[in-house]
Amino acid sequence: MVAGTSDMERSDAPDHVQRRRPLFLIYLAAVLLTVPLFLLIYPLVPEIRLPHGAGLRVDHVVSFLSVFILLVFIVKRFAGVIRVSVILLFLGALVSGLLNGPGIQGVYRSYAHALKGIRTKAVHVPLMLDPEPFHNAVALRGAIDVLDPALRKFAVTAAVAHFQDREVEPGEFTLVQSFSIFKEINGRWRYVSDLKGGEYFAKASESAALLAGDCDDHAVLMVACLKAVGSEARLVRTTGHVYPELMIGDAKAMERAAFLIRKVLFAAEVGDAPLHYHIDPDGRHWINMDYTRRYPGGELMHEPIIGIMEI
């Protein structure tokens, strides 16, 4: 009896182990696939925050878990292929370690580099609505007093206030000076509401002296300063906000601007966050220069765009 029981236990053990053993590889593969897919889709998911505490991004949690659960299901359906792939990857890492040195650490660094590459890509944000006639366009355009000497003086001073020690290409001086203007204004800007029940549009030269006002005052000042140093800029109106955008150029120019923002000029501010831009019908790329963000190309306001006015 003892011998028979032992034989039965020995015969059952392999099946038990075989049922359990692939689970680790399945979940590991699902996690490795979930992370890059999550980084690609999360900027497209509407933001949902908890109203209390630090404001946990519920949309991030739901998105990650949804992708993970879906991939677990898919990986289970192809468990054999996944298991062989993981084993081959492990063997390849060992061989690489014996021949070249990096081994498992090299595989980890390659995976981390790939993830970082996904995050460093700029995110194209489509325009949600067809632009309507720009509300208060005459008043806003009149407030952009680019030719005012005081405004010009402020713009030039702001353009050379930062990044003078950074090495850039000769054709990038205006772009870098525009980013310097962004840093100078946004680093000192203070929000002040208009009079209750009314609307006041401060001239750019007035806001340059105050460095305070509401969203349209900031947008007017930013656009005026950018124009004063040779850049192209425009105003974007959403259902409850006005903000400035800087014209970067074609896709190649956008790629270069993203590198400058992320690696050269605003590395500490950007971290691993994605950059955002719009593309107009002529293929030109425009990035956010709002005071609500600490770097050019920051996340856009989650409100439909209802008007665009180029200056």
Extended beta strands in the chain, E state: 122-124, 190-191, 212-213, 233-238, 242-249, 275-279, 285-288, 305-310
Return the domain boundaries, the chain. 2-120, 137-310
Q: What is the reported pLDDT for 257?
A: 95
Whose structure tokens read 């692939």? 22
Residue 7 pLDDT > 50: no
How far is Cα 236 from Cα 219, in angstroms, rounded to an integer?
A: 9
**pLDDT-wise least confident of 43-57, 83-97, 266-280:** 43-57
CB 287 within 8 A of CB 300: no
Using only the alpha carbons of the chain, give its radius of gyration. Answer: 27
Residue 42 pLDDT > 90: no
How far is Cα 132 from Cα 144, in angstroms, rounded to an integer?
A: 21
CATH of 137-310, one of 1.10.10, 3.30.1560, 3.40.50, 3.10.620: 3.10.620
- Which of 61-70, 88-97, 250-259 has maximum average pLDDT? 250-259
Residue 291 pLDDT > 70: yes
How far is Cα 287 from Cα 232, in angstroms, rounded to an integer?
A: 11
Token pair of 270, please? 């950007």
pTM of the model: 0.62
